[in-house]
Amino acid sequence: MEFKKITTPLSEDTIAALRTGDEVLISGTIYTARDEAHRRLTLLIAENMPLPFNIEGQIIYYVGPSPAKPGEVIGSAGPTTSYRMDKYAPVLMEHGLKGMIGKGKRSEEVKSAMKKYKAVYFGAIGGAGALIAKSIKSSKVIAYEELLSEAVRELTVEDFPAIVVNDIFGGDLYNEGKLKFAGKFK
């Protein structure tokens, strides 16, 4: 399997070249946020307040890592299920978000917002938190420290492994993969 290496912030060209099913290795800065952080970020947008990071062209990773042991950058850090962020994702895309990393299906609203705002959804392997942590080179809490593992973190990643689930052309790996293998079990 060939990998596409991509770097953040994501350019329009990079995004346009990605297709559903592409295995990618992501490098650069990404930001973490889960349920409560999303609620707060969208509240800031509603109130015309600045976000804790520049969201233009960026990727948000849906993760709540386990605590780092002394001397480690981060604990285990695999994806959480994405649908819980569906309510908040379209407004973040409207304000410049270009990528999301998580696991599991997205709503129709999120999928049409991805087409409209030219953003991509990447799937990471749930339950592979020890493996994924190896691609995380630095981690810094930049907002909502009181949320503990759910705080917003700025991560530097190198060759973070993921797969394109939804591209900007309406492709959906979950639908396509299921159709391809339905009934094939012997």
Partner 1 sequence: MKIIKLDQISNAVIDLITHAASNLSEDVIKSLNNSLDIEISESGKSVLNKIIKNAEIAKSEDRPLCQDTGLAVFFVEIGSDIAIEGGTITEGINEGTRKGYEKGYLRKSTCDPLTRKNIGDNTPAIIHYEFTGGDKLKISYAAKGGGSENMSRIKMMKPSDGIQGIIDFAVETMEIAGPNPCPPNIIGIGIGGNFERSAIIAKKALFRNIGTINPDKELAQIEQTIYNKINKIGTGPMGFGGVCTALAVHIIKEPCHIASMPIAINIECHSHRHGSVVL
Q: How far apart are CA 14 and CA 140, in angstroms?
A: 26
Question: Between 117 and 174, whose beta carbon lies closer to partner 1?
Answer: 174
Question: Between 58 and 135, whose beta carbon lies closer to partner 1?
Answer: 135
> Considering the rule CB under 8 A, would residue 87 count as an interface residue with partner 1?
no
Which residue, among 104, 86, 85, 110, has the nearest Cα to 173 in the 3D structure?
Answer: 104
Query: 60 near 99, Cβ under 8 Å?
Result: yes
Shortest distance, CB of residue 73 to partner 1, whole angstroms? 12
Which of 78, 90, 99, 171 is close enough to bind partner 1 by CB under 8 A? 78
Question: Between 91 and 163, whose beta carbon lies closer to partner 1?
Answer: 163
DSSP 103: B
What length does the chain have? Answer: 186
Shortest distance, CB of residue 95 to partner 1, whole angstroms? 24
Question: Between 46 and 182, whose beta carbon lies closer to partner 1?
Answer: 182
Widest Cα–Cα separation across the chain: 56
Which of 81, 112, 115, 116 is close enough to bind partner 1 by CB under 8 A? 81
Beta strands in 3-107 (DSSP E): 3-7, 23-32, 59-61, 99-102
Residue type (1 letter), 99 = G
Extract the tokens encoding 52.
């804790």
Shortest distance, CB of residue 146 to partner 1, whole angstroms? 9
Positions in the binding site for partner 1 (CB under 8 A): 1, 21, 23, 35-36, 63-69, 75-78, 80-81, 83, 103-105, 123, 125-131, 133-134, 147-150, 161, 163, 173-174, 176-186
